[in-house]
Structure 1
Amino acid sequence: MATIRDIARRAGVSIGSVSNYLNNPDMLSEETREVIRRVIDELGYHRHAAARSLKSNQTYRIGLVPLISAEENRSLAPSDNAFLEFLAAVNTTAAELGYGVLLYAATSEAEELPIYERLVGERQVDGLILMGTRAVDPRIEFLNERQFPFVSFGRTQNSEDHAYVDVDGAKGIADAVGHLAQLGHRRIAYISPPGGLMCAIHRWEGFRSAMAEHNLPVEGELVVEGGFTEESGQIAMHLLLDLPHPPTAAITANDLCAFGAMRALQMRGLAAGQDFSIVGFDDIRLASHWYPSLTTVSQPFRRIGSIAAQIVIDIITGKEVEHQIILEPKLIVRRSTAPVKESSDV
């Protein structure tokens, strides 16, 4: 591997001149800069990241702390590649801008804040991207207090205080309700995301307002708190099917939850898209390949990840750009939804 000394020897200049080229190029003549640049290209020299960090007091890394429980990690159920799509876009955009990405998984909510405190306190990263925001989020309170660069995927009750990129979940759920209402469904169940998440609050607002808009009653027994796993959807659907008067359709927390709900229907001898309509949320890759293919609300995870990375790096570098962005979701209609059967008695 070439060193600064090798470059100086080949270029016929002092080591100090090479150092000036790397750190303060304006101190050198154009002719000297050109000679050093040509030698650097010939030797394939890459400046050491640690040296660059010492010079600038930056790590050139942004951090993400995904919450992945030990149970999820051991599960053999279909995986949620929404995070992988998001991460791929973050990584690509960061790399294009000269930054790396540091992942530090938390296995419980109790672990999250201490991890953020360590990453910030030890200056392991220059900025952070948060996921899974809550209405009142201690991570955001901490980062605001420390004035540390960050952006969140998702809003909070105090969103005016921080940068974020989000999807209009209320509109997504409202579109799903409208689709089912057009198909003739009146008893529409709602399997919600876990309580406390800000996305759950926004989606609930969308569900209530859309049901009212279509003159449909919101019945308490048809609203079940679910989760983002296949198991949670299966459990919730069994609860709904055990009701004296079950629903004819359900909107779920995400696509994995929808897959679980469809499995529960199968176990009862019922078919999604024929006897019962199911709508997911996310549009992960499996959604179009599932049987039947899943009607779902699409979130553009790659675009979200790219925007999030761009925003946090803009904040790090002091650029004045728009730091609060809400994207529109899109309802993707497939075969898991169908007109209600007139004599439907699920």
Structure 2
Amino acid sequence: MVSCFGCPVLGSVKVYVPPGTGTISNFTTVPGMVSTNGESEFAVFCATPAPHIPSATAQGSRMPIANRRDGSRDERSGRALMVFRLNLLVTSLLLLWTGSVYSTLRPAARLHRYQYSQMAMGVQVTLTVYAPDQATAERACAAAFERIAEIEQIASDYRPDSELMRLCAQAGGPPIRVSEELFTLLHRAQQLARRTEGAFDVTVGPYVQLWRRARRTGQFPTEQELQEARARVGYEKVVLDERERTVQLLVPGMRLDLGGIAKGYALDEALCVLQQHGVHHALLEAGGDIVAGLAPPGVAGWRIRVENAAPERQWVYLARGAISSSGDTEQYVEYDG
């Protein structure tokens, strides 16, 4: 068998997982995280045959060993010298190229599958990673969860002391200087709002509060409540100043909800943290938001099932990308039967 680089493959992709889909090999608990671990193995071996170095005395060539007595060089010897130098150059380049190919295809370390879960941003966040050992996986995932917690403290609308809620408490007042991270989120949200002409709008917080109450108590919003909420909603009521990094909410009672953008941002940041710790094969999930790093070793992508989708669209294979879904499978309100 020959690889795409033209060199023979001595080994092949080998994948090991415990018997049965989803089977775990052990169970680990660390503070704030639950782990279910399995393992896999991936190795690719590639070797390039030793390049042929043309002999200087091969048939049809002759080494230039002497000049003629009259001072002129043998014409055939000159041509042989040129050919020899050219062959030597090509051989040297080939050796360098072979070394670079082999360095990229050298045997990968044996990787094990680890999975950790933690409540964050109002949902269960699950990190599934492949790492060389448990210590590496726990260290990387703990740091990733810390990064998610940092963003939650900035962007959560569930926490009254979050930076976002402190900003909303100043609605109707003067511009408020905010952190660079919160400003980045709001700036991106406003860009999306303008591009979608308000279909995406983080000022929908007053509506969200009414429907959260309806889900919790079964009390449907009245028409008056909906009208009052409508007066406090609209992305055009948010003023951003990039130079001063300030945000002004123009109408009293406005409430921002970053649920449509903050979870994806938090998962992107968490993936960066995993990669900084040397963990590149990872899948991060928070509710309907999923972010993927490299695929599991030996396969093309992470296999993801989309609940309640059409049969031909239920399975998605994802690597180095993201996917988000939304629906009434888990959060819904029944009214009048």
TM-score of the superposition, structure 1-length normalised? 0.27
Q: TM-score, normalised by structure 2?
A: 0.28
Higher RCO (CA < 8 A, seq sep 6+) = 1
- Structure number with higher strand proportion: 2
Higher relative helix content: 1
Largest Rg, 1 or 2: 2
